[in-house]
Structure 1
């Protein structure tokens, strides 16, 4: 017989046989449809390719190599992101690590560094004839080993994507009900056994959500594989578009979408709609005492932060000191570029936060396949390379909607398509952490469904909505291909300035905007984590 608590959960969460709320379902469906709409260009373009030619291109040896390389990059980045992000989250939330608040912010900051800037920095620092080799030249070392290829791409992408796993896992650990741990300990479970049997299953949805974002980012990243000379889908699609091979580019994009759908299906099987409920209060007396390992444990976050943050800042600082005699007025940084970047990023974050709420709420509270499909569809845009999304919307705007072509609303829409999953994942995790009995209690007291949502659910998921919107803001600030393709005429931003400087091999002009981009993004991260700490009493 089902327990009363389980019955309440089934009533509040919903079952597969229940009828979905019409208004919420239509709203979530509209959001999902809008997110996949730009991808119709790929199917229209692929449909025009001769069947024999399509078969030849799809099953060529080059295409197979690209597929294998992309899968290797995605798999390794996901695994290493989890291996780095989960321990860091556990150290900064559940232990008495020295300077915990400081490390909480610092280990999240690599998310503010664009991966293409990180790749340039590491090539400049550790390339065969890079800055590090110059320091070692006095010891007779004339050349360092190559850092290009799979190893270099995995290393750099992992450094700047593990914060996805770290942030989602940390949010789940903060809201975790420590009474469950106490109950496990009273049953004579050791710390490791309690973690394995209680903590890990409860935070698994958050780990899966962060791992999914890391995997999709690895699939969609263009800059790092290109700089590391590692052939993957994104790099080859860009090359084909540059050489007017749009047929092959469209077919490669469809293959990439097929990989994305498989990844989404696997992630859905791994995670569950298991509720991670708790009161969000974490008393210092319940933190794990690391004992004599307390200070040595700081080596872990210090090492990760040093490699991910110090190297790019070092290289960018060197670029600013090597201005040389070349002067280009068109490459000089202007403050309007920063204003443009912040304004469109804030608009994208606001729209994404609003669009994510109905999708996440439907997926978290209803087990219907339709709810799952709507949520999964919102993730597709995140894995589509920015160059593909940009070309698709250029095709749509130029041919069917010239009144919106090269306007700020179309640019913001593209950002939302690209980064909505960050808001959906964070919001959904927060909704799953709500104790269903709280919602049901408000219903018993006479509140309507909308009233319960407004008075109970919305205040409790506010931190998740803010966290998701902040992630959208951070990644929008760094987005390059979409900005280049869809920016309005005369619209210049920080990333377009960086791109122009790098395209002209005048890196000194890229240094200041790159440092400013990292600074603005870092401020938003600091404010977000500081507010989270105050809200949770950490």
Structure 2
């Protein structure tokens, strides 16, 4: 038997294996039959058809390795440059900036804000997840969806809605004035910021905890009942240790959002790192802004370390063998069944109805004679779509090789490249934007203004798109990597055995199968880039305006009626991102 080789026959559309000619369709038929056999085998073993075995780093493809490494390195450029900038500052100046009273105030407020938001998000998200998964709460399917909806509202839209409703001379004050109430509690500052950000971040804890509860082994609760444990005792001793990693994952997202949020603290007049960095940048105090950015990064690292410690100390819920049906509640609330609906009703009503109420009032009370300088124009929408679409395309193209390399080659190098792409997502947007401003101005000063053939990059569309890519590419990497892991490597191996090159096998076999992940990743990048605030404000080109800049300018000038339509458009966009999220997660447990 001779050596197997591949030789295309000119003009025949056939492939040669050894001394035999096979039609090109044989390649596809062989791959299809292999996939069917593997699916049947996995179903017969009652396990999911997800192929996760990967090569142990042997024989890494040079081209793919270099390409993935270059992409990963480019994702680290902004933060690396920021660290370089801080190191070049006079140490005495750095110490002086660290010891400023303003720095201490900003640090204290940022820490208290992060702790407050994280704690309240857990106190809201965990009970809501427990009620909608493990109890006989009335209308569970309805509350399951409704309590997650605040996630679609950008926090800065929620913030100026709450200020308009509950601020001095706000709508709520006007309602209470005839009753003799002349002053209501102050919404500005730390308490108001904690409340508003919590209302739009608790769904992170709710969703991750709900996922943990859906995979929870209910036979453990049955065992607790046989030992005469009550509802609270069973939750504390049985359920909580099992879902602690899921709670920690959601708490991490809430904490990172709180520490990196710019819009809400700025609207609430709270001095935190993100707001003060923006103020110093606008005042041309770039060195102090860089020092503040370094401190903010330190807080992010502490949050990540704490989350890892909490998550690593938890236990998983097993393999789900005793999970049970989500439609069959494990806990009966008894006489508390209907009163328990007050929690999801109060939380969702506060988070959803206040912004909708305020937006409706702005439409009704709009002044028809007001200047239309801030009115929504077609170019605002076009600019938002243009830069977000460009970011989505570039992010997917950059994510493909990194995700494929991480999924198919299990090595320290592939893991390093994969994790490097997540740095931009963990870094607050204001810090990322400041780093790119510093890097771009240094580049323009060194090359762009000295050579006519070298274009400047500061305040340009390409720089803004690159910032979006660095910030949101992990969304594309994650979805593409997950879909690639579900593709059986035997399919591409069969194609290569029949003579296809690795690139051709990827194009004909893997790419069509991971297309859902590509589409989902592109959609998530597009939708999140559409509503990104701090990066857009710092890097927008001169004369460039989009939906986000229009909303922010209208808010700063208190012309709220001009923020209504752009806000509604962003709410619709955010709602579409929730649809993409749910379509990836499936309908299980609804």
The bucket for the TM-score relative to the shorter chain is 0.7 to 0.9
Q: 3-state SS of the aligned residue for 2:129?
A: helix
Structure richer in helix, relative to its length:
1
Matches within 5 A, 1:449-528: 472-487=525-540, 491-526=544-579, 528=581
Counterpart contact for 2:162–2:354, Cα < 8 Å: yes
Q: Which residue of 2 aligns with 1:247?
A: 287
**CA distance 1:324–1:20, change in 2 (3 Å):** farther
Q: Which residue of 2 aligns with 1:72?
A: 112
**Is 2:260 the partner of 1:223?**
no
Counterpart contact for 1:260–1:380, Cα < 8 Å: no
Counterpart contact for 1:181–1:198, Cα < 8 Å: no
**Is 2:350 the partner of 1:307?**
yes
CA distance in 1, matches of 2:354, 2:408: 44
Name which of 422, 425, 432 aligns with 1:389.
432
What do residues 105-127 of structure 1 show as CA deviations (whole Å, max 9, x unaligned)?
32222122222222212122112
**CA distance 1:218–1:284, change in 2 (3 Å):** closer
**Is 2:222 the partner of 1:182?**
no
CA distance in 2, matches of 1:267, 1:364: 25
Shifted more, 206-215 versus 414-423: the winner is 414-423
CA distance in 2, matches of 1:277, 1:21: 34
Matches within 5 A, 1:71-110: 71-110=111-150
Counterpart contact for 1:93–1:173, Cα < 8 Å: yes
CA distance in 2, matches of 1:380, 1:311: 35
CA distance in 2, matches of 1:279, 1:487: 52
Shifted more, 228-237 versus 362-371: the winner is 362-371
CA distance in 2, matches of 1:93, 1:287: 7
Q: 3-state SS of the aligned residue for 2:184?
A: coil
Shifted more, 409-418 versus 353-362: the winner is 353-362
Q: Which residue of 2 aligns with 1:320?
A: 363
Q: 3-state SS of the aligned residue for 1:510?
A: helix
**CA distance 1:186–1:460, change in 2 (3 Å):** farther
Structure 2 stretches lacking a partner, 5+ long: 1-50, 449-453
Shifted more, 114-123 versus 18-27: the winner is 18-27
**CA distance 1:418–1:202, change in 2 (3 Å):** farther
Tell me which structure has the larger Cα radius of gyration.
Answer: 2
**CA distance 1:285–1:61, change in 2 (3 Å):** closer
Shift of 1:137: 0.7
Q: Which residue of 2 aligns with 1:3?
A: none
Q: 3-state SS of the aligned residue for 1:129?
A: coil
CA distance in 1, matches of 2:326, 2:87: 61
Shifted more, 233-242 versus 199-208: the winner is 199-208
What do residues 69-107 of structure 1 show as CA deviations (whole Å, max 9, x unaligned)?
211111221121122222223333344433333323322
Q: 3-state SS of the aligned residue for 1:330?
A: coil
CA distance in 1, matches of 2:529, 2:327: 39
Shift of 1:136: 0.7
**For the aligned residues, what is the CA RMSD?**
4.5
Q: Which residue of 2 aligns with 1:131?
A: 171
Q: Which residue of 2 aligns with 1:170?
A: 210
Shift of 1:498: 1.0
Shift of 1:343: 5.2
Shift of 1:255: 1.4
CA distance in 1, matches of 2:177, 2:205: 39
**CA distance 1:65–1:192, change in 2 (3 Å):** same
**CA distance 1:312–1:46, change in 2 (3 Å):** same
**Is 2:275 the partner of 1:235?**
yes
Counterpart contact for 2:57–2:409, Cα < 8 Å: no
CA distance in 2, matches of 1:211, 1:461: 31
Counterpart contact for 2:520–2:580, Cα < 8 Å: no
Shifted more, 159-168 versus 384-393: the winner is 384-393
Q: 3-state SS of the aligned residue for 2:197?
A: helix
